[in-house]
Structure 1
Amino acid sequence: MTDDVEKHNAKMFKKKVARDKIMATKTEEKGLVIVHTGKGKGKSSAAFGMIFRCIAHDMPCAVVQFIKGGMSTGERDLILSSFADKCQFHTMGEGFTWETQDKSRDIEMAQAAWAKAKELIADDNIRMVLLDEINIALRYDYIDVNEVVAFLAEHKPEMSHVVCTGRNAKEELIEAADLVTEMELIKHPFRSGVKAQAGVEF
C-alpha cells in the first residue's frame, strides 16, 4: 500500500470512530416541524421527495396546496393516479395571488386550506402533512402565523411530521421549527428567458 493510501485509510478510520461516537448519542425519535424557504428553486420538490419516501415506507401522508391551482403537475397526477390510498391530496388554492387579484377570495381559500390542514395534522394516523406554499399565505397574513405555531405546538401528534414550504417564511415559524432549510438562488434559467418545464418545475 502506498503512503497516500495508508494516510487516507487512517484519516477515514479516525473519521468513522468520531462519527460513530456522535451517532451513538442520537437516540431520540420525534415528529418534526420542517420549513423549506428561500428564493432558490427546490422547496416543494424536496418536500415531495419526503412525501414519496413516506409512501415507499407505507406511511400514510397528506398534501395541502395553499396557492397552486388545479393545474396538472407530475407529483399531483402520480399521487392521485397511483398512491391515493396512501397519500391524501388537497389542492385548495386558485393560483398565485398576482393572478387571482381578489384578496378576499384568496383569504377565503387560504382559510379553507388551513382548516383542512388542521384536520389532517390532528389525525395521528397520518405521519406526514405537507403544507405546500403555506409560507406565501402567511406572508400576506391570509392566515395568522401565531395561530399556526400554536396549533402545531398544541395539536400535532408527537410522532407526525409537518412540512411547510414557500418563500419568506415568517420568523415565528422558523423559531418554532425543528428543521429549517433555506434554498439559495445562484442561477435560474427563467432569468435567461427559459419558461417552466415539465419534469423540472411541474
Structure 2
Amino acid sequence: MSDDTDRHNAKMAKKKAARDKIMATKTEERGLVIVHTGKGKGKSSSAFGMIFRCIAHGMPCAVVQFIKGGMGTGERDLIQAHFSDLCEFHTMGEGFTWETQDKSRDVEMAQAAWAKAKELIADERNRMVLLDEINIALRYDYVDAGKVVAWLKANKPPMTHVVLTGRNAKEEVLELADLATEMELIKHPFRSGVKAQPGVEF
C-alpha cells in the first residue's frame, strides 16, 4: 500500500474507534417530538419519508393534515390504496385560509383536526403520528400552541413519535422538540414561474 493509503486507513480506524465509543453511550429509546419548519421545501416530504419507514417496518402510524385538503396528493393516494391497514390518514383541512376565506370555518376544522390528533396520539398502538401543517394552524391561533404543548407533555405515550410540520413553528413548540429542523430556502422554481408539479410538490 502507498503511504497515502496507510495514512487514510489509520485515520479512518481512529475515527471509527471514536465513533464506536460515542455510540456505546447512546442506549435510550423513546418517542420523540420532531418539528420540521422553515421557508424551504421538504418539510412534509421529509415527514412522509418517516411515515413510509414506519410502514416498511410494519409499525402502525397515522397522519392528520391540518391545512391541505383541497387537492389530492401522492402520499395520501398511496397510503389509502395500499397501506390503510397500517396508517390511518385524515385530511381535515380545506385548503389555505386565503382559499377558504372563512376564518370561522378554518378554526372549526383545525379544532376538529387537533381533536382527531389527540385521539391518535393517545392510542399507544401508533408508533408515529404526523401532524402535517399544524404549525400554520398554530401560527394563526386556530389552535392554541400552549395547549398543544401542555397536552403533549402530559399525554404523549413514551414510545410514540409525534411529527409537526409547517412554516413558522412557535417558540414553545421548538422548545418542546427533541429534534427540530429548519428547511432553508435557497432557490425555488415557483419564483421562476414554474407551478407545483406532481411527484415534486404533491
TM-score clears 0.5? yes
Instruction: Spell out the pairing of 1:63-82 with structure 2 (5 A cutoff).
Output: 63-82=63-82
In the alignment, what sits opposite 1:115?
115
In the alignment, what sits opposite 1:3?
3
Following superposition, the deviation at residue 181 of structure 1 comes to 0.4
TM-superposition CA deviations, 1:69-106 (whole Å, max 9, x none): 14111100000000000000000000011111111110
In the alignment, what sits opposite 1:151?
151
Contact in 2 for aligned 1:70/1:91 (Cα 8 Å): no
TM-superposition CA deviations, 1:108-152 (whole Å, max 9, x none): 000000000000000011110000000000000000001100111
In the alignment, what sits opposite 1:179?
179
In the alignment, what sits opposite 1:191?
191
**Matched letter for residue 185 of structure 1:** L
In the alignment, what sits opposite 1:92?
92
Instruction: Spell out the pairing of 1:157-168 with structure 2 (5 A cutoff).
Output: 157-168=157-168
**Matched letter for residue 57 of structure 1:** H
**Matched letter for residue 58 of structure 1:** G
> Equivalents in 1 of 2:200, 2:153: separation in Å?
34
Give secondary structure in 1 for the equivalent of 2:180. Answer: strand
> Equivalents in 2 of 1:37, 1:48: separation in Å?
14
> Equivalents in 2 of 1:8, 1:25: separation in Å?
26
**Matched letter for residue 150 of structure 1:** A
Give secondary structure in 2 for the equivalent of 1:64. Answer: strand
In the alignment, what sits opposite 1:15?
15
> Equivalents in 1 of 2:152, 2:195: separation in Å?
37
Specify every segment of 5 or more residues in structure 2 that has no aligned partner in the other structure, as ranges.
Answer: none
> Equivalents in 1 of 2:3, 2:198: separation in Å?
50
> Equivalents in 2 of 1:21, 1:102: separation in Å?
56
Percent sequence identity over matched residues? 82
Specify every segment of 5 or more residues in structure 1 that has no aligned partner in the other structure, as ranges.
Answer: none
Moved over 6 A (4+): none
> Equivalents in 2 of 1:129, 1:195: separation in Å?
30
Contact in 2 for aligned 1:133/1:166 (Cα 8 Å): yes
**Matched letter for residue 17 of structure 1:** A
